[in-house]
Copies of this chain bind each other. A is one copy, B any other.
Amino acid sequence: MLEQMGIQAVEAKKVLMVASTEMKNRALTKIAEELVANTEKIVEANQLDLDAGRKNGMAASMLDRLKLDTDRIAGMAKGVMDVVNLPDPVGRILNTVQRPNGLIIQKVSTPLGVIGVIFEARPNVTSDAAALCLKSGNAVILRGGKEAIHSNQMIAQIMRDAVKKAGLPENVIQLVGDTSRDSANELMQMNQYVDVLIPRGGAGLIQAVVKNATVPVIETGVGNCHIYVDWEADIEKAVEIVFNAKTNRVSVCNAAESLLIHKDIAEKVLGKIKERLDEKQVELVGDDASRKIVEGIAPATKEDWGTEYLDYKMSVKIVESLDMAVEHIYQYGTGHSECIITENKETAEEFLNRVDSAAVYVNASTRFTDGGEFGFGAEIGISTQKLHARGPIGLPELQSFKYKIYGNGQIR
């Protein structure tokens, strides 16, 4: 069954990859209109998912993420319209050279082709991901979780109808109806049809995709983000940046999870940081040195250093040097976002160069690792791998390239 979807996706891609910007924007506009026009149908389908969730004892926070109402559907439509306003990434001439033999070699951005997106409960991912793929000229096969299957199917059907009305093949957007593990595994190995897989969800999902996929994967998401307070830090900046990076939104991958403080500033700054974090009841766990400086820090276990809490909790460690901070990040970090607080520009530059993460900050909150905040307009996730895309994945990252070579009879 999935193979048929693969064949259809490739057929649809052939049309979409050469479609004009105008045509793609028309389809996106139609999608946005139809999502709003069909609000009632979407809410009804969503109700089935919510009922099933409640029956299965789904947590209130999960039910909230699953829920769609008029406002949220309008938000989804607005998200699609935002993509209309982004520049078309397809067909950009990235480089042109003329070789001594007269060949003209042009490097041009092209769609990746067919993208598989495997995601968990949030049904708004369905329209987000489909809109970004469509604008970037990629056919998409969406495979959401069973918790949101009725919502996802309704949203996908509305989008497919809209795309067709706009004059593009409806199969540029397909949703896998089967939410079994088998269907996910099959999608992960459809190398003949699928060019790239993007998993969106928790660490378990991402690891399952990395482990089982033979299709190339853009790994996203897990962020055990560190802030290192250097001995030459501005204390006020340190306090506010740590507070913001930890508490602004705890459930996201760019939230800070671990605090490293240089021993020579620890006594001056740790108490103030703790006081500020106490306002939001952040639980601190730390090493012996930190626990000697301030009361109310529980002992950290080795697991703590490697944990992405996604909660009002943070680990604290006192380090002897920049070296030790960098080493700690190498050992426990996930390559997402790390920050140094320092007024010393050389120290900052050394940290930025030596820490091997997607986003490295000096004196700013790790919460800025985000497509919107970077000015990308929209993103399909945050890549923590080094191949192809790193950091926020916007429309340009959903492109491959090809070489067009113009000759007049050249041979070797």
Contact = CB atoms under 8 A, between A and B. Distances in A.
B374 A105 contact: yes
A390 B401 contact: yes
Interface string A393-408: 0000000111111111
The count of identical subunits is 2
A25 interface: no
A330 B363 contact: no
Contacts of A240: 409, 411
Given A354-B14, A356-B17, A412-B367, A403 B374 contact: yes
A402 B361 CA distance: 11
A411 B363 CA distance: 9
A70 interface: no
B407 A362 contact: yes
A99 interface: yes
Interface in A88-128: 97, 99, 103, 105, 110, 112-113
Given A210-B214, A373-B99, A364 B244 contact: no
A353 interface: yes
Interface string A187-223: 0000100011000000000000011001011110000
A373 B412 contact: yes
A382 B289 CA distance: 53
A61 interface: no
B406 A357 contact: no
Contact of A360 (B210, B217, B364, B405): B405
A18 interface: yes
Interface in A253-280: none
A185 to B, nearest CB: 14
Given A112-B386, A360-B403, A368-B412, A210 B191 contact: yes
Nearest to A391: B403
A196 B387 contact: yes
Contact of A367 (B97, B363, B411): B411
Contact of A365 (B248, B367, B401, B411): B411
B400 A386 contact: yes
Nearest to A353: B18
